Amino acid sequence: MADFTIITCPQCNNKLQIGKNVGQFACESCGTEFVVDRSGGIISILPLVEGIRKVQTGVDKTAAELALARLRRDIEQLQEDYRGIDKDDNTGLYVGGVIAFFIGGIVVSNDGGGVIGAILIVGGILVVIGGISASMDKNKTKQEISKKIRQKQSESANHEKVVNL
């Protein structure tokens, strides 16, 4: 049994002897570098550039798979954050502000312009304004989270393409 295999160089047709333990070599005639592929019981040679390309493709797929796992976790967390925003209800602020406003109005009308009534009216207005401001902040936060989710989904789609090559 021979300790080597003879293959023809695809670049210059020179006969090449490949030893059992050789993984990379250059053609003596034309200088082209090759990687030896011994998969599936068949020995073949690939130009070194092609061998590197295969390795790079494998690395790219692995990196894309890892990125997809991270992006899925990120998207889930963002969606949870989005849902959590609606759990903080400002209805109590509105109701409290309106009640304070009306009680202040009643006190002012019965008292003839009492200080307590005026404080309740102003306080009620400020509480309602605070509730409106909080709602506006919530909407802004929801828009920012939605934008981040869309960006992560777009990034995921790009990684999916690499994984499915």
- DSSP 8-state secondary structure symbol assigned to residue 154: H
pLDDT tens digits, one per residue of 46-94: 777 776 778 888 899 999 999 999 999 999 999 999 998 877 666 676 6
Q: Which residue has the higher pLDDT, 123 or 144?
A: 144
Percent of the chain with pLDDT over 90: 33
Pairwise CA distance, residues 45 & 31, whole Å = 14
Q: What pLDDT, on a 0 to 100 scale, did the predictor assign at position 113?
A: 62
Rounded to 10 deg, the angle between the 48-87 and 115-163 helix axes is 160
To the nearest whole number, what is the mean pLDDT of the chain? 84
Pairwise CA distance, residues 155 & 127, whole Å = 42
Q: Is the pLDDT of residue 101 over 80?
A: no
pLDDT tens digits, one per residue of 116-141: 777 777 887 787 777 777 788 888 99
Q: What pLDDT, on a 0 to 100 scale, did the predictor assign at position 111?
A: 59
Q: Is the pLDDT of residue 1 over 60?
A: no
Pairwise CA distance, residues 110 & 154, whole Å = 63
| pTM for this prediction | 0.54
pLDDT tens digits, one per residue of 11-32: 899 999 888 888 888 899 988 8
Would you kindly state where each structural domain of the chain is located, as residue ranges? 4-42, 53-163
CB 80 within 8 A of CB 142: no
Pairwise CA distance, residues 62 & 69, whole Å = 11
- The predicted model gives 106-115 an average pLDDT of 68
Q: What pLDDT, on a 0 to 100 scale, did the predictor assign at position 105?
A: 72
Q: Which residue has the higher pLDDT, 41 or 151?
A: 151
